[in-house]
Amino acid sequence: MLTVGEIARRLDTKIHRIEYIIRSRKIEATGWAGHARVFSQASLDRIASELSRMDTERSNPNSGRSAHAGR
């Protein structure tokens, strides 16, 4: 079981980015360890995938868009 902080460390990113993905993608915690939410390996994999997708979109903001969009 992984906390948000542990997920951030494993993915070498900031906690607020992990929190954003969890919230916006409605990823459910597997349970609680005291006051901390814990997540499964499958959740880590999904978060990693979403983080990678977000980073790809950030580095190439026109990917997937028509060259004539907005005209």
| pLDDT one-digit tens code per residue, 14-41 | 999 999 999 999 999 999 999 999 999 9
Phi/psi class of residue 15: alpha, beta or left (left: φ > 0; alpha: ψ in -120 to 50)?
Answer: alpha
Residue 65 has pLDDT above 70, yes or no: no
Residues 4/14, Cβ–Cβ less than 8 Å: no
Q: How far apart are CA 69 and CA 37, in angstroms?
A: 41
Residue 46 has pLDDT above 80, yes or no: yes
pTM, two decimal places: 0.81
Q: How far apart are CA 33 and CA 66, in angstroms?
A: 46
